[in-house]
């Protein structure tokens, strides 16, 4: 991306140099000895790679020398302020160190996952297989429902039993719920893939106008459900959903990789768990066997 003529531009120093010494060990993490240095600010290097990054992020082409001057000036200003912060000892502040460490971790996470996805792209076969599985899970019908949430399963059962015995109409269950401030759920058309398996089985067996005989678990609630309407479900063409499937598979791929790395990582607790909580009495002596009673202190799998 970066053309050699940029280095020869008049607004740079007469010659860009290779970094021969970084100074502090911390600086050596960011700038290597073979990096091209465009300018030093108070002894701190601003490199060609740094300019390339801000050019790419800003969509600036290598022929736009005026904009490149502005970007380089911006980097220099950032370094000037960073130098002032260093001189005032701000870089030694625990919170600042933590923030810089977290920023570094996030950049490495993004770049690592980007490279992994480049090396392991989602294929057309993956997309087609996911599409077929989604169509199968969705079933052949779509449903309009209304559902009354209850905090306790027993409450939902009591309401459904009263409806089944003819003591109450479902409309009365809805009215009482709304009067109490509860939100009656009336989603747009749904298919079987959008609800838990047991809920899907009940919907498959239901007819329009029917009240499902048992409460359906959804999140922290129990739902009393009436099926308002049933219609044929026509799955969208693959061409219309291909990109969405690709993005979903890519996200899952990254999540699976992170979980695999997490499960395989060597994680050694260095302090009792309570030591990380500033509200806990700092004078309290830690348990001799660690926070879990395990002398090894190792994380259980």
Distances (CA, A) of 55 to 34, 162, 174: 21, 68, 58
Considering the chain, what percentage of its residues have pLDDT values greater than 90? Answer: 76
269 alpha carbon, distance to own chain's centre: 25
Angle at 286 between CA 282 and CA 290, to 5 degrees: 140
User: For 277, which DSSP code?
Assistant: -
At 31-55, the pLDDT tens digits run 888 889 999 999 999 999 999 999 9
- pLDDT reported for residue 274: 65
Residue in the structure block whose two tokens are 């922290």: 220
Residue 116 tokens, joined? 């992994």
CATH topology of domain 140-232: Chitinase A; domain 3 (3.10.50)
CA dihedral of 258, 249, 244, 128, whole degrees rounded to 10: 180
How confident is the prediction along the chain (301 residues), in pLDDT tens digits per residue?
A: 444 444 444 344 443 444 444 444 555 667 888 889 999 999 999 999 999 999 999 999 999 999 999 999 999 999 999 999 999 999 999 999 999 999 999 999 999 999 999 999 999 999 999 999 999 999 999 999 999 999 999 999 999 999 999 999 999 999 999 999 999 999 999 999 999 999 999 999 999 999 999 999 988 999 999 999 999 999 999 999 999 999 999 999 999 999 999 999 999 999 886 655 555 554 545 444 444 444 344 444 4
Residue 211 near residue 226, CB atoms below 8 Å: yes
Beta bridge pairs of residue 93? none
Residue 150 tokens, joined? 């209850």
Distances (CA, A) of 57 to 46, 52, 258, 294: 17, 9, 26, 49
* CA dihedral sign, ordered 96, 99, 105, 107: negative
Residue spans per domain, the chain: 4-91, 93-139+235-265, 140-232, 267-301
**Which among 167, 188, 173 is positioned nearest to 223, based on CA atoms?**
173
- pLDDT reported for residue 33: 83
Residue 139 near residue 235, CB atoms below 8 Å: no
């Amino acid at each position: 991306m970066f053309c050699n003529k940029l280095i020869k531009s008049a607004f740079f120093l007469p010659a860009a140099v290779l970094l021969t010494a970084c100074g502090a060990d911390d600086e050596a993490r960011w700038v290597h000895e073979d990096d091209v240095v465009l300018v030093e600010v108070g002894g701190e290097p601003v490199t060609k790679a740094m300019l390339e990054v801000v050019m790419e992020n800003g969509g600036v082409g290598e022929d736009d020398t005026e904009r490149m001057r502005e970007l380089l000036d911006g980097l220099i200003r950032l370094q000037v302020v960073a130098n002032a912060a260093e001189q005032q000892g701000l870089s030694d502040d625990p919170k600042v160190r933590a923030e810089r460490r977290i920023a570094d971790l996030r950049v490495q996470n993004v770049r690592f996952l980007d490279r992994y996805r480049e090396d392991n792209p989602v294929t057309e076969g993956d997309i087609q297989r996911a599409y077929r599985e989604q169509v199968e899970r969705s079933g052949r019908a779509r449903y309009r429902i209304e559902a009354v949430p209850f905090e306790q399963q027993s409450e939902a059962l009591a309401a459904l039993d009263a409806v089944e015995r003819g003591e109450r109409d479902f409309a009365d269950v809805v009215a009482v719920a709304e009067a109490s401030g509860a939100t009656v759920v009336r989603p747009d058309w749904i298919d079987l893939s959008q609800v838990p398996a047991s809920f899907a089985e009940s919907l498959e067996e239901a007819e329009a106008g029917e009240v499902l005989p048992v409460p359906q678990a959804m999140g922290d609630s129990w739902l009393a459900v009436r099926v308002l309407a049933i219609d044929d479900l026509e799955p969208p063409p693959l061409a219309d959903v291909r990109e969405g499937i690709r993005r979903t598979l890519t996200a899952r791929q990254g999540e699976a990789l992170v979980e695999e790395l997490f499960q395989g990582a060597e994680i050694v607790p260095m302090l009792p768990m309570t030591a990380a909580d500033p509200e806990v009495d700092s004078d309290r002596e830690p348990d001799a066997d660690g926070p879990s009673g395990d002398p090894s202190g190792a994380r259980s799998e």
